[in-house]
Amino acid sequence: MFTFISIMAVGVLIGYPLRHKSQVRKITPLIHIVVCLLLFLLGLSIGLNRLIIDNLGYFCGQAAVISSLSTAWNTVPPGGEPMRTLHPTSTRYSRTM
């Protein structure tokens, strides 16, 4: 993990002074292609892993439960009271919902 963070830090230190160079800005499409290739290879490795494929239903069920509970937890206000927000043009609170 330290290796990856170090590599990224070196990239930031090199990229910061070069951020206004027009040649460096041409790297963005290359980054997009590399990220897509890495995602494809990740999917390929998951598809080749028999253990993951055999338990895919279990993993999808866990993901559905976690996302449903996260959504429910973040939409219900604490104590069941309407949430209060700061009105953008004043310092008084207004009720929403």
Residue 71 CB-half CA count within 13 A: 6
Tokens describing residue 89:
């043009």
Higher pLDDT, 26 or 85: 26
Question: Beta strand 93-95 with 84-86: parallel, antiparallel or unpaired?
Answer: antiparallel
Q: What's the confidence (pLDDT) of residue 7?
A: 93
For the chain, how long is the longest CA-to-CA vector?
Answer: 59
pTM: 0.53
